[in-house]
Amino acid sequence: MSNNNYADIPSAALTGSMRDFRVPGGVDLLERTQGFFRWQDLRRQNGLWPFSRATEDGPKTVCLAQDDRGQKLRGVNFASQDYLSLASHPAIKATAIETIERCGVHSAGSPALVGNTSYSVALERKIAEFVGMEHVVLYPTGWAAGFGVVKGLVRSADHIVMDMLAHSCLQEGAHAATNNIHLFRHLDNDYCRNILEKIRAKDKDNGILVITEGLFSMDSDTPDLAALQDLCHEFKATLVVDVAHDLGCLGKEGRGHIGMQNMLGKIDVVMGSFSKTFASNGGFVACNSRAVQEYLRFYSAPATFSNALSPTQAATVLKAFDIVDSLEGRILRLELLANITSLRRELNEAGLDYYGDPSAIVCVKMGSEGLARLVSRQLSELGLVANLVEFPAVPKNAARIRMQVMANHSEQNIADAVQILKAAKAQAEHELERLGEPNRGREQRAA
C-alpha cells in the first residue's frame, strides 16, 4: 500500500472525458492544449490518471512499473498484450540476437526502396500461407496497416461503411480518404445492408469499403463474417477485416475468427497487427490479387514512405509465426484458453461481470467513470496492473477494467488479480458513496 492520501477528490477529476478537449478553441495552437492538461493533471495529482505507465523489464506476468509521476507499483500484470507470451520466449529472443549480429538493428529504407530484408520477404510468404491468401504487404505498425489499407484503396468519391466501434486506425484512415462515411450499429449486418442498399440506390459507379474486426478489443465480440462477405458481394463492395486481436491466439489452429468461421482465404482483404500475439511492432495486409498488393506497395503511404520493419522485427515475427503454427503454438493457445476460462469463472464467483465471448480480452464491467477511476487507483495500490477503459473509447457509464490474459499467467496470478479487483471495487464504491457520486447528477442532467 502506498501512503497516498486523497482525502478530498475534486469532482472534476472524477467527471469529464477526453472528448471534452478533442476540438479545443482558440487561435494559438499550442496554448489551447492547456485545458486538457489542467484536467489531466488534476486527475494525475489525485492518482486518477492511470495512463502512460512504464514497465521496468517488459511485459511479464508480474511486473514492476512506474506511473507518469514516477511512482512505482509492483503487481500482477493483466495490462500487456502478449497473448501467447512470446515476447520473452527463449527462441524469439535468440532469433532477435542472431539477427542483430547479422544485420545490425535498422532497415534503413522504406519497403518501396531497399528497406526489405530476406526476413521480411520470407515473412510475407509465411503470413500469406498462414491466412490462406495469395499476397501480403507489410507495414511498420498495425495502426499503419489499418490506416494504410483504407487510405490506399478508397478515393473521395467512394464510400466507407464501417462498424461504429472499428479501431482508431480504421476510423482515421476513413476520414483521411473520404467524407462519405457511414457507421453501422455494432455487429449489425442488417443495419449494414440497409446502408448498402441506400448507397447503391444512388451510386452504382463508385467503390464501397466495408470495415469490421475479427474480435473487438473493448467488447470481445465478433461479427458474422460469412454473412458480411456475402453482403459485400451482393452490393459490389469490398470487405476489410482487422484481425489484430484474434489471429494467432484464438481457435485450434490459431486462425482466429476467420478460421473458426470457415472464412480462411474467402475475405476480400485481411489486415492484422503483430503486436498482440507475434511479439513485435508491425502489421500486414493480405489479399488475393497481385495487383492489389503492388498498388498498396506504392499508393498506401505507410508502406511506401515509412521505413520498413527492422530486420530484427521481421525475423522475430517470422519466428513467432513458426511457433504459432507448431504444436507448441497449439499448446500455448490451450494454456491461454484455460487461463481465460479460469479468469471468467473466478470473476463470476467474485460477483464481477464482464463483456463478451471468451478471448484474451476480458473487460470487467464497472459502470460510471468516477467509480472506474477510483477502482483503477485502488488496483495500483493493491498490486494489479490492468487498464482503465472509459468514454469515449466505450459508451458513457460503461467504463471497464480491461484484463488481457497471457498464456503464461499462473492460476495464482489469476486468483490474485480477481481478489484485488473485488477488493478495489468494494473500496471504490465505499469511497464514491463518501464523495456523493459526483458524476451521477451530471449524467442525469445530460440525459
CB of residue 233 vs ligand PLP: minimum separation in angstroms?
24
CB of residue 272 vs ligand PLP: minimum separation in angstroms?
8
User: Which residues partner with 65 through β-bridges?
Assistant: 55, 73
Nearest residue (CB) to ligand PLP, 285 versus 382:
285
8 Å CB contact between 360 and 245: yes
CB of residue 276 vs ligand PLP: minimum separation in angstroms?
7
CB of residue 352 vs ligand PLP: minimum separation in angstroms?
23
| Burial letters 362-385, b for 16+ CB under 10 A, else e | bbbebebbbbbbbbbbbbbbbbbb
User: Which residues partner with 92 through β-bridges?
Assistant: none
Of 419, 417, 408, nearest to 61 by C-alpha is 408
Task: Evaluate the CA torsion angle 142, 148, 149, 151 in order and state its sign.
Answer: positive
CB of residue 308 vs ligand PLP: minimum separation in angstroms?
15
CB of residue 225 vs ligand PLP: minimum separation in angstroms?
15
List CB contacts of 56: < 8 A, sequence separation 6 or more. Answer: 63, 64, 65, 66
Backbone conformation region of residue 260, classed left if phi is above 0, alpha if psi is from -120 to 50, else beta? alpha
Residue 104 Cα distances to 99, 101, 108, 175, angstroms: 7, 6, 10, 38
Nearest residue (CB) to ligand PLP, 15 versus 171:
171
CB of residue 79 vs ligand PLP: minimum separation in angstroms?
13
Q: Which residue is nearest to ligand PLP (CB)?
A: 142
CB of residue 172 vs ligand PLP: minimum separation in angstroms?
11
Nearest residue (CB) to ligand PLP, 158 versus 213:
213
| Contacting positions for ligand PLP (CB under 6 A) | 141-143, 146, 167, 169, 213, 217, 242, 244-245, 273, 275, 283
3-state SS, residue 362: strand
Nearest residue (CB) to ligand PLP, 145 versus 192:
145
Nearest residue (CB) to ligand PLP, 50 versus 370:
50
8 Å CB contact between 256 and 250: yes
Of 224, 292, 288, nearest to 257 by C-alpha is 224
Nearest residue (CB) to ligand PLP, 313 versus 439:
313
Tell me the helices (H) and strands (E) count for the chain, helix number first.
15, 14
User: Which residues partner with 328 through β-bridges?
Assistant: none
Nearest residue (CB) to ligand PLP, 237 versus 317:
317
Nearest residue (CB) to ligand PLP, 85 versus 212:
212
Query: Judging by DSSP bridges, how do beta strands 72-77 and 62-66 pair with one another?
Result: antiparallel
